[in-house]
Amino acid sequence: MGIIDRFVDGYLKRKGLNPYPVTQPKIQGVNSAILQQYGADSYVSEGYLSNSDVYAIVSFLARKAASIPWYVYQMKPGEKAQTALNQYKQLSKGLQNKGAYEMALIKRKSAYEENIVTGSPLAKLLENPNSFQSQDQFLENLYGYRILSGEGNIYGNDGGIDGAKFVELNVLPTQFLDIYPDPKDLYGLLGYKLMVGAGIDLAKDQVCQWKSWNPDFNADTRSHMRGLSPLRPGWKLLRMSNNAADASAAMTANGGAKGAIVPKAINNSIPSLTPEQASLVQRMVNDRVNNKDQKGAIGVFQTPWDYLNFGLSSVDMELVKTMQMTLHQWCRLFGLPVVLFDTDSSSYNNYSNAMRDLITNTIMPLNCQLRDELNKWLVPRFGENVYIDFDISALPELQKDMEQMVNQLRMADWLTFDEKRVAMNYEERGGAYEYSYVNQGLMPLEQVNMDLTIPNDQIGNMANGDSQIS
């Protein structure tokens, strides 16, 4: 029975239904698990499912990150390729620097073959992680948990054979995953447990825990071994935002801002109403104005009337400001330029620049972290000289104007012609194209046939302010 089937069975059992019984061996020597403060279930229920801003931001980031395809590449032999790989990894983490994108492409193509590996078991697994999810759906699920809860956990099914190749990959729900620490190691762990039903124990090498940095170090609770969700520092903001949304919904359900119908002054005198007259007016207003089936109907009154609009109270006005403010705060917490969600006051150029900032400052760091985790955890299982990487060229926001790129490469005399061809997505030519060339009017200093030694009798003149050398 697969991990998903066992999870479903345990979940049904917890709900009081009758699944097939699941029995798993207990992790020995462990008495407590590391739980997240507030709990990832709160991040899901009170954050993603109850707050429209959180939902919009998390889903937007997850879909954007998941839209970048991942492939398996064959590594080139030799230390030169390894050095180029290390340089590419560093460059890809800081693409906001000028020219870093083009240089990253050059180093990447020096590290591994450009043609992707398609027939290996690892390539097939990456293309189809499991039987019910495509790569895009799998990645959106993984990124969603990582962004929302601070953790994205992948389970590799090895068919029950230790050290075997994984046959499928599944994203584990963070709100149901506990971590069991090693009591002898502040950063070590013994295993994981999927907390449904009787619980499902998972070996530590079967789970890839991709988490954010958590400075909440605690030697007793080991809280630092769980990822830090943006909702934890933003917990008060979340409660305030949800309360403001509830108050706004209640105000809307009650008809919004209130007013009153009062008798109109006649000859500087305001007539008084008997209780019977006031009741009659109220019934007429309810019938002609407040009745949804009679909206817009004309009422006939014998006495002139005025309408006194109460408007929005100071509390109501602050509620509107709070709803506007929280969106900006959420964008800051999740690393999202607010321009992307506030396009009314922005131009297309501002939006384009904001998208580039989002890619370089938020999406790329996430992808680089995941790339390093997969190559550390997944590739050794398959024993291949390959490298898992996302297709950096699939990001149009990072691609500069072709003319600008040509001009930059023309001035880059330290690059060989082949390196420039690679940057422009052309094949290498070899031969003379493997050398760097400088402008025709320049030549190395050591080739200049002139004596630059300053005679001793000239040193005194230079000290007196004479810069001429005779």
Quick one: what percent of the chain has pLDDT higher than 90?
A: 31
Kind and range of the H or E run holding 260: strand 258-263
On whether both 51 and 118 belong to a single domain, the answer is: yes
Tens digit of each residue's pLDDT (9 = 90 or more) over 385-401:
999 999 887 777 776 65
| Total structural domains within the chain | 2
Residue 115 lies in a domain: yes
Cα angle, residue 233 at apex, residues 227 and 239 outer, rounded to 5°: 120
With a cut of 60, say whether residue 179 has pLDDT above it.
Answer: yes
| Mean pLDDT for the chain overall | 78
On whether both 166 and 176 belong to a single domain, the answer is: yes
With a cut of 60, say whether residue 257 has pLDDT above it.
Answer: no
With a cut of 70, say whether residue 457 has pLDDT above it.
Answer: no
On whether both 383 and 423 belong to a single domain, the answer is: no
Residue 370 lies in a domain: yes
Distance CA 111, CA 427 (A): 15
On whether both 368 and 452 belong to a single domain, the answer is: no
| pLDDT of 30 | 39
With a cut of 90, say whether residue 402 has pLDDT above it.
Answer: no
Contact 48, 161 (CB under 8 A): no
On whether both 407 and 394 belong to a single domain, the answer is: no
With a cut of 80, say whether residue 74 has pLDDT above it.
Answer: yes
Residue 220 lies in a domain: yes
| pLDDT of 344 | 60
Residue 282 lies in a domain: no
What's the pLDDT band for 68 if we cut at 50, 70, 90?
very high
Residue 298 lies in a domain: no
Distance CA 261, CA 86 (A): 76
What's the pLDDT band for 16 if we cut at 50, 70, 90?
very low
Phi, psi of 90 (to 5 degrees): -70, -40
| pLDDT of 62 | 96
Mean pLDDT of 308-326: 60
Residue 10 lies in a domain: yes
Quick one: what percent of the chain has pLDDT higher than 70?
A: 70
On whether both 115 and 26 belong to a single domain, the answer is: yes
On whether both 138 and 243 belong to a single domain, the answer is: yes
Give the orientation angle of helix 235-253 with respect to helix 314-334, to 10 degrees: 140
With a cut of 90, say whether residue 290 has pLDDT above it.
Answer: no
On whether both 140 and 200 belong to a single domain, the answer is: yes
Residue 294 lies in a domain: no
Q: What is the DSSP string of 240-258?
A: HHHHHHHHHHHHHHTTSSE
On whether both 19 and 113 belong to a single domain, the answer is: yes
Cα angle, residue 96 at apex, residues 93 and 101 outer, rounded to 5°: 75
On whether both 408 and 391 belong to a single domain, the answer is: no
Distance CA 187, CA 223 (A): 10
Collapsed DSSP state (helix, strand, coil) of residue 235: helix
Residue 432 structural domain: 400-458
- Final residue of a structural domain among 354, 379, 399: 399
Tens digit of each residue's pLDDT (9 = 90 or more) over 186-217:
888 889 988 877 788 899 999 999 999 999 88
More confident residue, 239 or 346: 239
Lowest-confidence range among 45-54, 99-108, 134-143, 433-442?
Answer: 433-442
- Final residue of a structural domain among 353, 378, 399: 399
On whether both 149 and 212 belong to a single domain, the answer is: yes
Distance CA 440, CA 284 (A): 95
Tally the residues of the chain: 470
Residue 469 lies in a domain: no
H-helix segments, 112-212: 121-127, 135-149
Kind and range of the H or E run holding 282: helix 275-285
More confident residue, 44 or 301: 44
With a cut of 60, say whether residue 302 has pLDDT above it.
Answer: yes
On whether both 382 and 429 belong to a single domain, the answer is: no
Distance CA 295, CA 286 (A): 10
